[in-house]
């Protein structure tokens, strides 16, 4: 049976690139995002490239939508082999006041739902087949050099780094691999290092080799 990778936060950058990378290795990508319109567009683009994908509308701010979508995939395609959590609100702060409510709102999406997605995915069946959970981290969480105009995101990536460590320690004994790619630059098509396709190769390398559970790239 074809292997399946679930990508939560499937956008035009890392998310789509990871889908292409895993598809090149025989995986069926399942793209999850908030916008049905964008998902339909991505699906058309992938089909034009000869890549079949499945799409599910989810909202990371509403974990019940993640739970439902992951359960549906299990029923329709069988237990997935990998989960990539690639959600992060990258909107610059600008002149916006950074309130506690805003921090909590962003934390729900950037961090808490990553925990929930892992919790929903890490079933006994997922563990038995050696499933993997990969997170999109931030290099500034490693270097402790936060970006002044991305306050919520920097706080959340630091928290996600801790979450990665804890999930790894909790799930490794069950046979589930958990790791994080700490992306340390601006992802842009054509960049000699941070082209999405190059970044995506780090996810595949981590999935395949599983000798490092935290990679700064």
Tokens 């610059």 found at: 92
pLDDT at 190: 85
Pick the CATH number of 3-216 from 3.40.50.720, 1.50.10.100, 3.20.20.70, 1.20.1250.20: 3.40.50.720
CB count in 10 Å sphere of residue 86: 24
Q: What is the pLDDT of residues 117-145, one digit of tens each?
A: 999 999 999 999 999 999 999 876 665 66
Q: What is the pLDDT of residues 51-60, one digit of tens each?
A: 999 999 999 9
Residue 208: Cβ-neighbour burial (10 angstroms; 0-12, 13-18, 19+): exposed
Torsion 38-44-48-50 (CA) sign: positive
pLDDT at 73: 97
Which residues of the chain have a pLDDT value below 70? Answer: 1, 140-145
Which helix (H) or strand (E) segment holds residue 70: the answer is helix 63-77
Domain boundaries, the chain: 3-216
The predicted model scores a pTM of 0.93
Beta strands in 47-99 (DSSP E): 54-57, 82-85
Residue 92: Cβ-neighbour burial (10 angstroms; 0-12, 13-18, 19+): exposed
């Amino acid at each position: 049976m074809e292997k399946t990778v679930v990508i939560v936060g499937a956008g035009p950058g890392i998310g789509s690139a990871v889908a292409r990378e895993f598809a090149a290795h025989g995986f069926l990508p399942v793209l999850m995002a908030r916008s049905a319109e964008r998902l339909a567009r991505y699906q058309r683009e992938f089909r034009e490239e000869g890549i079949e994908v499945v799409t599910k509308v989810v909202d990371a701010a509403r974990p019940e939508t993640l739970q439902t979508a992951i359960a549906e995939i299990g029923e329709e395609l069988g237990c997935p082999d990998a989960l990539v959590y690639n959600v992060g609100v990258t909107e610059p702060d600008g002149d916006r006041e950074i309130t506690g409510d805003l921090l909590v709102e962003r934390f729900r999406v950037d961090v808490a739902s990553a925990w929930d997605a892992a919790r929903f995915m890490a079933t006994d069946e997922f563990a038995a087949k050696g499933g993997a959970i990969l997170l999109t981290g931030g290099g500034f969480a490693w270097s402790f050099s936060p970006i002044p105009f991305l306050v919520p995101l920097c706080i959340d990536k630091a928290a996600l780094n801790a979450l990665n460590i804890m999930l790894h320690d909790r799930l490794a004994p069950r046979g589930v691999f958990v790791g994080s790619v700490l992306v340390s630059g601006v992802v842009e098509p054509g960049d000699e290092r941070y082209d999405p396709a190059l970044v995506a190769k780090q996810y595949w390398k981590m999935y395949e080799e599983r000798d490092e559970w935290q990679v700064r790239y």
